[in-house]
Amino acid sequence: MEWMTYLHGQSGELYYYIDVCDYTSGVAISCGVGAPGVKNSPGNPILSNYYSGGWGDGTLMYPGSSTYVGTKTPIWLPSLRLKMIRDGMQDYEYLNALTKAGEGTFSMQQVRSFITNSYTFNNNPAGLETARNALGNRLHQLTRARGARGGKN
């Protein structure tokens, strides 16, 4: 998403309802993990992709209990989706840092290397990884060049 945010010149993102099992006194009983020993309850987002309406969308954190994580105190578990959003935000910061360093054309070339528009893009992970590596390498080159000049532009 953050590559699209950069492509379209947006400044933020809204993601809704990240903790569908939140409850004022801890993990909600409706999630099926609040009671010790409950492992296969309807509505358990750990066991069903369909919790909260379909394929886990909106579920960035999963409720943990001693049943699943071996702790006496319930803890929240991050989803892979959350970690991928974090990676995207870091990528956005790389794109933005390069743009501020006068490398906006290079940044946009990397975005365009696998994204045509909001609905046409190369979904092969190699395209993203290649672009991500190019950003990191360019930032590294700029940092080294700046260091060679004594930290001055």
User: Does residue 17 fall inside a structural domain?
Assistant: no
46 part of a folded domain = yes
Q: How many domains does the chain have?
A: 2
Establish if 58 belongs to a structural domain: yes
* pLDDT band per the 50, 70, 90 thresholds, residue 145: confident
Cα 72 from Cα 95, distance rounded (Å): 42
- Asked if residue 128 and residue 97 are part of one domain, the reply reads yes
Q: Does the predicted model carry a pTM greater than 0.75? A: no
Higher pLDDT, 82 or 129: 129
Q: How confident is the model at residue 25 (pLDDT cuts 50, 70, 90)?
A: very low
Query: pLDDT exceeding 70 applies to what percent of the chain?
Result: 65
Question: What pLDDT shows up at residue 148?
Answer: 73
Give me the pLDDT at residue 35, please: 44
What is the reported pLDDT for 56? 62
Structure confidence at residue 33 (pLDDT): 44
Residue 153 falls inside a structural domain: no
pLDDT of residue 118: 87
What span, in angstroms and rounded, lies between the C-alpha atoms of 27 and 76? Answer: 9
**pLDDT attached to residue 78:** 83
Angle (nearest 5°) at CA 95 between 91 and 99: 165
The four Cα atoms 43, 47, 53, 56 give a dihedral, to 10 degrees, of: 140
The mean predicted confidence, pLDDT, of the chain is 78
Question: In terms of domains, do 94 and 35 share one?
Answer: no
Q: Does the pLDDT at position 127 exceed 50? A: yes
Per-residue pLDDT at 14: 75
Same domain, 98 and 121: yes
Q: Are residues 73 and 87 in the same domain?
A: no
Task: Domain of residue 43: give its range.
Answer: 22-79
Q: Sorting pLDDT into bands at 50, 70 and 90, what band is 24?
A: very low
Report pLDDT digits (tens) over 68-123.
677 777 777 788 888 988 999 999 999 999 999 999 999 999 999 999 988 898 98
Question: Across 3-147, where does the E strand assignment appear?
Answer: 22-23, 26-27, 61-63, 76-78, 115-117, 120-121
